[in-house]
Structure 1
Amino acid sequence: MTQNWGMTIPFYDRSLAQSQELIAELPALGYTDVWSSEVNGADGLTPLALAAQWAPGVRLGSAIVPVSTRGPALLAMSAATLADLAPERFVLGIGSSSPAIVERWNAVEFVKPYARTRDTLRFLRAALAGEKVSQAYETFEIKGFKLERAPKVPPKIVLAALRPRMLRLAAEEADGAITNWLSPDDVRTVRAEIGPDTELIARLFVCVNEDADQVRETARWMLASYLTVPAYAAFHDWLGRAEVLRPLHEAWAAGDRQAALRAIPDEVVDALVVHGDAATCRARIQKYVDNGLDTPILAPIPGGEVSITQAVRDLAPVKEDR
């Protein structure tokens, strides 16, 4: 495999403090990238700072840091710090996030998500290049900010993008697009919006478990919590799942969580979650790559008798492909 092969850190079954040993093992297993996330667990940047020391040589990426929960200048300072720790190996992934995370959890107004993401991208481009920025953007104004120590090589910036407008922005002004919760066939739809030359990155949830019913039971909870978020609902409407997911949305809106879970068809779970034995999972991941995914970010989820540690090892690129 010549494309990137990423892993989500920290792991679902342990804290960041308990992740050092397995993170350090990733390069030898063949993983090229480690990517963080930022929801309600570890923040999106501290794990990368540690991984820069624990796993020298791998590419480090945030997938993603919301543009509204930190000020633009703080984002620039954080990115410059990571770029200094891992020169030319850090990729800053930013995105609009969701009303729940921005407003309900961080007490920040969630407005004009597209414009805020675009403006933040443009500000970061200038700030990380070492420029003094005094600029009135559509969603905020910066007066006289300049990094004390700009990185010698500015980090790449990639955007979380789920629909055509943001995907086109990622292709035109950023260095790549990050997406989530999609099938191998969906990759073709997304790729068509960004063209062949833009890096496409996606987090893939993987359960190394041959008990399909057990996987589906776990996965339905995860899917319901994401697919009912407005941005993801619109994403799957665009991908052609509006009708098949309508019962889910209606039950969720009515407050009937159990009915909502039952309303997610097996075929939707199987399309969006990679599961089976390790060989089956690797073959499924390869389909994503064959359809145009440059960087799969694997996120092993617990299930069955295979531990997360073993899943991480079993999902690595096979030796003859390294």
Structure 2
Amino acid sequence: MTSRWGMTVPLEGIPLPDQRAVIERMPDQGYTDLWSAEAGSTDAFTPLALASVWAPDLRLGTAIVPAYTRGPATLAMSAATLAAAAPGRFALGLGTSSNIIVERWNAVPFTEPYKKVRDTVRFLREAFTGARVKADYDTFSVQGFTLGAVPPQAPPILVAALRPGMLRLAGREADGAIINWLSAEDVRTVVPYVHEQGEGKEIVARIFVIPEADPDTARGIGRRAIAAYLNVPVYRAFHEWLGREELAPMWKAWEEGDRKGALAAIPDAVVDELIVHGPAGYCRERVAAYVENGVTTPALAPILPPGADPARAVRALAPRD
């Protein structure tokens, strides 16, 4: 069993200031990590800044910050500030995000994603030393930036990765990988690519969990989440690469504009593979399977039915209470 056990923040369904009471108790419940999400709700850094004060024993990580939506210098400053506020407890998770978030929501061209992440990792490595950065990368140039507040300990950088190219980049140039939207068995497929350059890299997995819900309710929630995510081109390509042919009818219906048909086409077996659900004890066993297959840090991401209590879910999924 891993020595790490993480939770995604902010918790849905609780106003951000009111999450203090839940987060303060997490270390006593066995949690070691908090990993933020950034899509269309809160930014990645603010919830972690609050948590750094509320629970000073927890490690903090972004899962993930898009490489496109902040300039290189701004990203370096944000990461360095949080690393200084929580010395030795912050990890920067960086990735491409998706064309939806980058292009449609932020009006930034989603071009050359592999090179963009690679160049950003290389820039951050140099910037975190306090050196003056004057460099022309393939996807951007930085002319004379110096980080004015160098953190006492540079944060590790983890790359969000799906397919072999980015997984290898995570193992070769970063400190590990963040993986997402995959089954426990899929972990066996992706992790070896990260370790091609040597063992010892961290593997963080965001694992979607619906604790203590009946199967029909959980599968209904899971189908909506799968349809929302796995029709995005980057995730569709990932599951095509994994060989998940059972999703072909969903993709076809979605392309034809049949949203209801797309939901109905998702098999129960696929929901059960990609969404951990059931009694809390069973959920913990399923998370343990991810760890057995190569995940070093599970970061649980509860998806709850309307009206469910997020604090109760946190308690139920804790390794101890």
Which of 235, 252, 270 is matched with 2:238 structurally?
235
Aligned to 2:7: 7
Root mean square deviation of aligned Cα: 1.2
Shift of 1:173: 0.5
Contact 2:230 2:236 in 1 (8 A): yes
Q: How far, CA to CA, are the matches of 1:312 and 1:153 in structure 2?
A: 30
Shift of 1:133: 0.2
Q: How far, CA to CA, are the matches of 2:36 and 2:306 in structure 1?
A: 24
Contact 1:76 1:124 in 2 (8 A): yes
Aligned to 1:251: 253
Q: How far, CA to CA, are the matches of 2:21 and 2:126 in structure 1?
A: 37
Q: How far, CA to CA, are the matches of 1:18 and 1:257 in structure 2?
A: 36
Contact 1:208 1:303 in 2 (8 A): no
Instruction: Answer with 252-261 or 201-210: which moved more.
Output: 201-210
Q: How far, CA to CA, are the matches of 2:238 and 2:306 in structure 1?
A: 30
Q: Does 1:214 align with 2:217?
A: yes
Given the superposition, is the C-alpha separation of residues 212 and 154 from structure 1 closer, same or farther in structure 2, using an over 3 Å criterion? same
TM-score, normalised by the number of residues in structure 1:
0.96
Q: Does 1:141 align with 2:141?
A: yes
Contact 2:283 2:317 in 1 (8 A): yes
Give the total of aligned pairs: 318
Secondary structure class of the residue paired with 2:17: coil
Secondary structure class of the residue paired with 1:79: helix
Listed as ranges, the gaps of 5+ residues in structure 1 are none
Secondary structure class of the residue paired with 1:14: coil
Q: How far, CA to CA, are the matches of 2:212 and 2:47 in structure 1?
A: 27
Aligned to 2:86: 86
Secondary structure class of the residue paired with 2:204: strand
Deviations 1:228-250 (A, max 9, x none): 01111111111110x21111111
Percent sequence identity over aligned pairs: 55
Q: How far, CA to CA, are the matches of 1:289 and 1:301 in structure 2?
A: 20
Q: How far, CA to CA, are the matches of 1:92 and 1:311 in structure 2?
A: 26
Aligned amino acid, residue 207 of structure 1: I
Q: Does 1:317 align with 2:299?
A: no
Aligned amino acid, residue 228 of structure 2: S
Aligned to 1:69: 69
Q: Does 1:289 align with 2:279?
A: no
Shift of 1:15: 2.7
Aligned to 1:100: 100
Instruction: Answer with 283-292 or 303-312: which moved more.
Output: 303-312
Aligned to 1:53: 53
1:11-50 matches, cutoff 5 A: 11-50=11-50
Deviations 1:176-203 (A, max 9, x none): 1001111110111111111242111111
Q: How far, CA to CA, are the matches of 1:197 and 1:209 in structure 2?
A: 35
Write out the 4+ residue segments of structure 1 that deviate beyond 3 Å after TM superposition: none
Instruction: Answer with 160-169 or 232-241: which moved more.
Output: 232-241
TM-score, normalised by the number of residues in structure 2:
0.97
Shift of 1:3: 2.5
Aligned amino acid, residue 77 of structure 2: M
Aligned to 2:265: 263
Listed as ranges, the gaps of 5+ residues in structure 2 are none
Secondary structure class of the residue paired with 1:311: helix
Deviations 1:238-278 (A, max 9, x none): 1110x211111111111110000011110000000000011
Shift of 1:304: 8.0
Contact 1:209 1:306 in 2 (8 A): no
Q: Does 1:179 align with 2:179?
A: yes
Shift of 1:21: 1.0
Q: How far, CA to CA, are the matches of 1:266 and 1:305 in structure 2?
A: 24
Q: How far, CA to CA, are the matches of 2:275 and 2:186 in structure 1?
A: 13
